Structure 1
Amino acid sequence: MHIKNIFILFILLSTTVIAQKDFTTREYLDDPAWTPREHNVDFKHLLLNISFKPEEKKVIGEVTHTFVTIQKQVDTLFLDAPGIAILSAELDGETINFDIIPSGVVFRFKNPLKWKTQHNLHIHYEATPKKGLYFIGWDDPNNLSRKQIWTQGQGIDNRYWLPMYDEMNDKITSEVYVTFDSKYKVLSNGVLLQQKNDKKSGNTVWHYKMNHPHAPYLIMLGIGEYKIKTITSKGGVKINLWYYPEWENRVEKTYRYSAEMMDFFEKEIGVKYPWENYSQIPVQDFMYGAMENTTATLFGDFLFTDDRALLQREYLSVNAHELAHQWFGDYVTARSDAHHWLQESFATFYNWLIEREYYGQDHFDWNRRMAQINSLNASKKDDKQVMHSQSGSVRHYPKGAFVLHMLRQVVGRDEYNAAIKHYLQKHAYGNVDTEDLLTAFHETLGNSYDWFFEQWIYHGGEPHYKVSYSDVEKNGKKYHQFKVEQTQSVNRLVKLFKMPIKFRVVYKDGSKTDKTVWVENQYQEINIPAQKGKEVDFVLFDVNNNVLKDVTFDKPVEMLKSQALKAENMLDRYDAVKALSNLAVKEKMDLFQEIYNKEKFHAIKSEIVAQMA
């Protein structure tokens, strides 16, 4: 081997080592759902013609899948269809062979399909699904139950009643013809193009069509006896409110603020509602709260409330959550389950914003406190990060929402909104992963927020701060000194955290001094110059609890009493009341009575009652 060749080989090997060293997978805990499912064709359109024998719980369908091959040679095609009976199949009008296996069906083509060619696969089938599509009340011997048919496709259950590629990483337009008894109304995704009655058969054919692509798991049906009230938002979006005929008196209370929510989200998100219309339909025996099917949210009728039931349970929060999903989850959809937080955390955060509009700042802050408590409890079990398919609902919903709140606090509301608008518009009707969100912030604002995503999204855990306070003198000057130590166990999933934290010193004359400091080291001292001649009343670490954390901060009783009575933010007052729990009742009776009479928020009042009982 020549010296020149040896030198070239050395350079190539060195470059490879450097490239491997610099490459980051962003995955610190193995996740089986990290990689999107592979597929050899790109599905474009789904045309479904469906009818039912409800007493037999049977589905009778014909579906045509239009697809384009994305590999050079495609000689087979697999569709998810567990338990579905495939009666016949044709590719581009010619009969083809197929093999039914437990998980679905494999179609075998006579000749391999060429690369980048479009084809139509037509399938006749029957199914008696145990999942995905539910026949409610048709087997009730006493005829007391409502009679309904409805679907629940998330996570991957539409495959039990409709042979399809049932994954979130492919987007399709869909078109549905439903033939059913004219006594009942039918809802599906998109625009109702036609409602054709056949008096001879007593059936009606309902024709719905989606004009923009969405994920297959979002295809839905809702069938039952309903009436519909249509309202229009100020932005011009038609909202169809479905309800049981005998529950007309519940419509206003249940669906209150629906149009206003639409207007709020369009303004706050900065992107117009991305679909032609929006419907909401209650169903009996639903196993969850609600489901954000594209253009058609389906929810449990236990949320359909009258004046009295409204005191205990209402639909507003769920309504806002599912509407937010029309942007976050439907308009842009996670590429794989590892990025599920991009849907649920966003929907949760935005329903918090709606709740703040109608219930106030204290309610919003209490949502964050509940998220904090639940997140810390989850971390006692494991250190899984937000971006992991098996992180659990606490991290995908409230913790992720709190993380988005912190991100907005760090970058600024206007900057956050600009980045989110860019993220949505860039990936409109497409699939996204967490890197797409991070890139959107960089492209919009020019700053790298890798550090934030690394600690809050790609790693797990939360910071645990041990804080102390004292008055000190240095070089003849007096300071209020905070000592902050991060005490969480550091490992490959949990690191030291870097966050801006606001420190506050409140004086007895009512004045205050604030200082925001980036706390990022295991130990830091923060010195705030003392105001001459002023006596400290109380001090705060992380004013209004804007950082998701655990904190130990022992304060004198008199300081806690002042904080409980005078702190500006509800959470800071609540924390002081909570910290006084070990104080004898007689030593806090008068104070608590004053606070109770002054306070309006339920959490503080409840805590006082609990301590005085």
Structure 2
Amino acid sequence: MKSFSILFFFLLTSFAFSQSQSIDVQNITAHVTINPDEKQISADYRFSFLTKSKLDTVFLDAKNLENIKFVNTEFEIYNSGNKLFFIGNFKKDKTYTFELTYQVKPKQTVYFIEKHPEIDHSAQVWTQGQGKYTSHWLPSLDDMTDKIIFNLSYTFPAQYELTANGALVSEEETEDLSTRHFEMKNPMSSYLVAFAAGNFKAVRDTTDSGVPLEMYLPEQYNDHFRFTYQNYNEIFSILEKKIGVAYPWQNYKQVPVRDFLYAGMENTGLTIFSEEFIVDEISYNDQNYINVHAHELAHQWFGNLITEKNSVHHWLHEGFATYFALLVEKELFGTAYFENQLFEDAEQLKLLSDRGEGEKIMSKNASSLTYYKKGAWALHALRNRVGDAVFFDSVKDFLNQNAYQIVEVDDFLKILEDKSGESMLDFKKEWLQQTSFPAEEALTILRKSEFIDQLFKLKLKRNKPIKDKILPLKNALLSKHNAYLGPEAVLQIISEKGVQREELLYLAFSTDNIETRQFLAKNLKQIPKDLKEKYEELLKDQSYVTREHALLNLWMNFPEDRRDYLAQMKGQEGTIHKNIELLWLMLKVATEKSKEARKAFHQLTDYTDSAYAYQIKRQAFIYLFQINKLTDQSIINLSKDLNHPVWRYRNFVKQLLTELIKDQNHQADIIKLLEKDQLSNKEKVKDILKV
């Protein structure tokens, strides 16, 4: 390698912004070796590109590569730490290939979940490169407008199961290592390159249209397959029929991982999603994977097959994926479900708009609410304006005409104009380019529904006394749509007083509707004695969320029966993140001073350890804080998570430490642990302490 002046480095950096118009990176091939123990990636790497003009410099984005060795190159190479620059005489319309080897310890994008000594299945390695982060482990182009064919092989410890983009074309096994070779047929953006490895087991199937499917679960959750992947074939078929374009990739795989940064990520042909959507028959009723499943699958067309030019056009990814996921749910759960979701989203968007916090859909920095929910609403309004035939035919033509290409909003609107014979300028202005939410048009669309009209009229009765709305409240609780009308009725009943209130509450308990009873468990904090027995029935509901809230509220309302409630709920874990068990442990510690209570305290403390998912740790920390039982070990464990990859949890950790130092005793304990060098992330702790 040759050293270059600072001035030359800046010239190289400025050149980087215009490269996509000068070269076409055609393929990237690499043999990637994963070393989980060292948290290291090494690779034999090759990339080929065609020049569109005469050049003297070409670059790849490559973060923090080490031990780089180039194979037989006449060009000069410069590694800036962020990019690799190839310098020499590049001729126009010629294909060039570079080969190199490297090592890297990724600072992000590749996440290593360490194996815990007592939990054999805990180790995982997975990627999250959305945006422009794949270059932290694989040299590529941090620009979604560059489409490249990736053919990657992976060597990894044999105890892992690994899946990645593309078709598996060959594999080799030794005693300690496995190697798998994957091929892609069509080009994609580099941020969609992904792999996941862990103690996974796959169920394989084929869709009605012949697409191979692979659905993974951690081995310990094999019995959760049926409910986690509920309706998987129907979801695929519904989307193919609604979109009107065949699935564009060789196969489709899905794998849940621990401590994932988001709900899910639509890597090409490989959705990685949060393990919180691993559910059994009961937790399916609390939070299932259906919407995330449909949303990420829809992205295989909207985002992966066609890709936005820049974030101004992000509607073409998230608005479309959100809307088509809703169309899937409409087929699976019914029209009332679909309309209720649209109604709730419209209420939320109108509230923001009325506060002056609305955003344009066509904006570089809009919120997820705008891109996803307002974006979906824009499509629903558009469909109502032009009719189903024009709408769905336009979507089909838009995808077919722009397959594997970069697109803008106007590319879609132009097709709509041609098919409808109408200008899309008003739609673009009213729905995509103004900050306010077009609530009047949304309400007009919603009021076409008899169910929504009934829901709307019920909401308008919120300020009326209970004696003037007994019949509408009863009708709501007894309606075939009580899953959506019931919670609204309960909300109005709870705020009232008197005999009529308790009669209506009794009726609400008697509906046996999961959503209505869950709403009761969450919101009826003061339990009338006459309804105690009905409320206690919630402890057996087919909802872990209902059981959790019911246990806490019964424990709060009836101190004399606390031991009985704890005995009844002993041994129940709840969701895979132990919502009932964690609450039970906290209540046990708060109720008794027995040997079993001390054991419960130690178990609750153990759940703050790095061996567990952040959802478990967060709740354990919350409960220990609430009962003022945070020990030195808990605080040591808390400090480790100041650099946790999930930013929401990382912020929680910082906030909890900030709260702890307000107490002089806790502050003294933290300072003592810091002085003894027992805390992790010491500088961050000092910053919180202001020392």
Quick check: TM above 0.5?
yes
Distance 1:49 1:381 in 2: 52
Residue equivalent to 2:47: 65
Superposition deviation, residue 177 in structure 1: 0.8
Distance 2:69 2:482 in 1: 63
- The structure 2 residue matched to 1:306, chosen from 259, 267, 280, is 280
Matched, 1:52 2:34: yes
Q: What amino acid maps onto 1:581 in structure 2?
A: R
Q: Residue by residue, what CA displacement relative to the aligned partner does 1:9-47 show, whole Å, maximum 9, x if unpaired?
A: xxxxxxxxxxxxxxxxxxxxxxxxxx9985531111110
CA contact (8 A) 1:321 1:347 kept: yes
Residue equivalent to 2:6: none
Matched, 1:108 2:84: no
> Secondary structure of 2:267's match?
coil
CA contact (8 A) 2:204 2:213 kept: yes
Matched, 1:591 2:565: no
Residue equivalent to 2:9: none
Matched, 1:326 2:303: no
> Secondary structure of 2:209's match?
coil
Superposition deviation, residue 459 in structure 1: 2.8
1:518-529 matches, within 5 Å, as: none
Q: What amino acid maps onto 1:456 in structure 2?
A: W
Pairwise CA RMSD of aligned residues?
A: 2.1
Matched, 1:130 2:32: no
- The structure 2 residue matched to 1:544, chosen from 436, 441, 446, is 446
Distance 2:447 2:23 in 1: 49
Matched, 1:456 2:431: yes
Q: What amino acid maps onto 1:412 in structure 2?
A: G
- The structure 2 residue matched to 1:398, chosen from 373, 387, 406, is 373
CA contact (8 A) 2:343 2:446 kept: no
CA contact (8 A) 1:239 1:259 kept: no
Compared with structure 1, are the counterparts of its residues 36 and 353 closer, same or farther at alpha carbon in structure 2 (3 Å cutoff)? farther
Residue equivalent to 2:484: 603
Distance 1:411 1:266 in 2: 21
Give TM-score, length-normalised by structure 2: 0.66
Q: What amino acid maps onto 1:586 in structure 2?
A: K
CA contact (8 A) 1:362 1:601 kept: no
Distance 1:117 1:230 in 2: 43
Question: Any unmatched runs of 5+ in structure 2?
Answer: 1-16, 495-691
Residue equivalent to 2:588: none
- The structure 1 residue matched to 2:229, chosen from 230, 255, 264, is 255
Q: Residue by residue, what CA displacement relative to the aligned partner does 1:223-262 show, whole Å, maximum 9, x if unpaired?
A: 1122211111111111111122232211111111111111
- The structure 1 residue matched to 2:248, chosen from 274, 277, 281, is 274
1:297-446 matches, within 5 Å, as: 297-379=271-353, 380-446=355-421
Bigger RCO (CA 8 Å, 6+ sep): 1
CA contact (8 A) 1:89 1:95 kept: no
Matched, 1:576 2:457: yes
Percent identical pairs in the alignment equals 29
CA contact (8 A) 2:62 2:136 kept: yes
Matched, 1:286 2:263: no
> Secondary structure of 1:164's match?
coil
Q: What amino acid maps onto 1:453 in structure 2?
A: K
1:138-217 matches, within 5 Å, as: 138=115, 140=116, 142-143=118-119, 146-199=122-175, 202-217=176-191
Residue equivalent to 2:208: 234
Distance 1:166 1:63 in 2: 17
Compared with structure 1, are the counterparts of its residues 177 and 598 closer, same or farther at alpha carbon in structure 2 (3 Å cutoff)? closer
Distance 1:143 1:574 in 2: 49
Residue equivalent to 1:89: 70
CA contact (8 A) 2:350 2:439 kept: no
Runs of 4+ aligned residues of structure 1 deviating over 6 Å after TM superposition are: none
Q: Residue by residue, what CA displacement relative to the aligned partner does 1:300-335 show, whole Å, maximum 9, x if unpaired?
A: 111111112112111111111111111111111112
Superposition deviation, residue 116 in structure 1: 2.0
> Secondary structure of 2:214's match?
strand
Distance 1:121 1:446 in 2: 51
Matched, 1:119 2:96: yes
Q: What amino acid maps onto 2:385 in structure 1?
A: V
CA contact (8 A) 2:113 2:122 kept: yes
CA contact (8 A) 2:121 2:199 kept: no
Q: Which has the higher helix share?
A: 2
Distance 1:38 1:118 in 2: 15
CA contact (8 A) 1:332 1:432 kept: yes
Compared with structure 1, are the counterparts of its residues 240 and 371 closer, same or farther at alpha carbon in structure 2 (3 Å cutoff)? same
> Secondary structure of 2:37's match?
helix
CA contact (8 A) 2:346 2:439 kept: no
Distance 1:422 1:249 in 2: 42
> Secondary structure of 1:542's match?
helix
Distance 2:189 2:285 in 1: 37
> Secondary structure of 1:353's match?
helix
Distance 2:69 2:309 in 1: 32
Matched residues, number: 477
Distance 1:88 1:39 in 2: 28
Distance 1:343 1:310 in 2: 27
Q: Residue by residue, what CA displacement relative to the aligned partner does 1:397-434 show, whole Å, maximum 9, x if unpaired?
A: 01100110111111111111111110000001111111
Distance 2:189 2:43 in 1: 20
Compared with structure 1, are the counterparts of its residues 370 and 220 closer, same or farther at alpha carbon in structure 2 (3 Å cutoff)? same
Residue equivalent to 1:475: none
Q: What amino acid maps onto 1:49 in structure 2?
A: H
Q: What amino acid maps onto 1:406 in structure 2?
A: A
Distance 1:463 1:285 in 2: 38
Q: What amino acid maps onto 1:169 in structure 2?
A: T
Superposition deviation, residue 441 in structure 1: 1.5
Q: Residue by residue, what CA displacement relative to the aligned partner does 1:185-205 show, whole Å, maximum 9, x if unpaired?
A: 211111100011234xx2221
Give TM-score, length-normalised by structure 1: 0.74
CA contact (8 A) 1:442 1:448 kept: yes
Superposition deviation, residue 543 in structure 1: 5.3
Residue equivalent to 2:24: 42
CA contact (8 A) 2:19 2:58 kept: no
> Secondary structure of 1:65's match?
strand
